[in-house]
Amino acid sequence: MKYKTKKYLKLLGKLGITVFALYYVFSKVDVENLLETFQQSNKSLILAALVSFVLSKLISAYRLNNYLKSIDILLPDKYNIRLYLLGMYYNLFLPGGIGGDGYKIYLLNKTYEVRTSKIFQAIILDRVIGVLALFCLAVVFFYFIPLSALYRPYIWLLIPVSVGISYLVYKKFFKDFVSVFLKTNLQSFMVQTLQTFSAYLILLSLHIQDLTMGYLFIFLISSMVAVLPLTIGGIGSREFTFMIGAQWIGLNIDHSIALSLVFYLVTAFTSFWGIIYSLRPELLTNPKPSLEEN
């Protein structure tokens, strides 16, 4: 009973933060201008942004599979992609339940004789390595935005320092995953580069061609914030970050929110297809007999 109460309070807290963030954001933007921007957008470029995003998620799925292989969970590629898509669906549309990550841990623990803690570590590290790539790309983009920074010439040093610290943490606390550190890092940079390119295509679709480095920098920061479980499906926290970032750098707030919302719609459209495996769970039963697919 206490668990259910805690779960509902957590959901209500997320819902409250989401509603407050969205209310605050939309109280600061010109909604009519926002709708006009959407209507005049280039739909072909939005479709291209969707393709880039889908490709990034396919690489994400392979990255997670590399972590799982490190602890002797050998998932067929097709099964792994299905499970990853279902996780995206749960994370975005059913945040009050077990969640996508929780469901993966439950299903894999039930199927394989691997400790829950090891599966948990694999899934958490998969997220952390994604944030590391976001941080490194944000450092690169920060160098090109129009802000005066005393230590700008040395900002690049944050990239090797952050990667080096991450490697030492792996060696100290997550030895099972050291062997895939380089591969998963490269995959993470591919993932975040494709998602940043997706955001760039959205900017072009909205006919926003000035200060693109600034918009993309805030996009990377907002993506890091969206990883935190503060709101439902990341909606609200990303928009709030865009608004604050736009004010800080001197970007058009309406354009910033438009970019954020279109990217959310791209994410939601992709994630929604995970409903197939929610409605037909038999497609995710017992992957072991199909190991020869690997």
Considering only CA atoms, which of 205, 273, 231 is closest in space to residue 48?
205
The two structure tokens encoding residue 48: 């291209």
- For residue 36, give the nearest of 207, 182, 167, 187 by alpha carbon: 207
Report how far residue 36's alpha carbon sits from residue 41's, in angstroms, rounded to the nearest whole number.
9
Three-class HEC string of the chain: CHHHHHHHHHHHHHHHHHHHHHHHHHCCCCHHHHHHHHHCCCHHHHHHHHHHHHHHHHHHHHHHHHHHHHCCCCCCHHHHHHHHHHHHHHHHHCCCCCCHHHHHHHHHHHHCCCCHHHHHHHHHHHHHHHHHHHHHHHHHHHCCCCCCCCCHHHHHHHHHHHHHHHHHHHHHHCHHHHHHHHHHHHHHHHHHHHHHHHHHHHHHHCCCCCCHHHHHHHHHHHHHHHHCCCCHHHCCHHHHHHHHHHHHHCCCHHHHHHHHHHHHHHHHHHHHCCHHHHHCHHHHCCCHHHHHHC
Question: Given this model, what pLDDT does residue 167 score?
Answer: 96
Measured distance CA(125)–CA(60) in Å, rounded: 12
Give the separation between CA 212 and CA 229, rounded to whole angstroms: 28
Q: pLDDT at position 17, please?
A: 61
pLDDT of residue 255: 87
pLDDT at 291: 39
pLDDT value of residue 241? 84
Report d(CA 192, CA 30) in Å as an integer: 30
pTM of the model: 0.86
Tokens of 110: 């039930």
One digit per residue, the tens of pLDDT, for the chain of length 294 reads 555 566 556 556 656 665 665 555 556 566 677 777 788 889 999 999 999 999 999 999 999 999 999 999 988 889 999 999 998 988 887 655 456 788 888 888 888 888 999 999 999 999 999 999 999 999 999 888 866 666 777 888 999 999 999 999 999 999 999 999 999 999 999 999 999 999 999 999 999 888 899 999 999 999 998 887 666 556 667 878 888 888 888 888 888 888 988 998 899 899 989 989 888 888 877 666 443 444
Q: What's the burial of 210, exposed, middle or buried (CB within 10 Å: 0-12/13-18/19+)?
A: exposed
The number of CA neighbours under 13 Å toward the Cβ of 126 is: 23
Residue type, 180: V
Instruction: Name residue, tokens 């970032």.
Output: 245
pLDDT at position 294: 44
Pick from 177, 163, 178: nearest CA to 67: 177
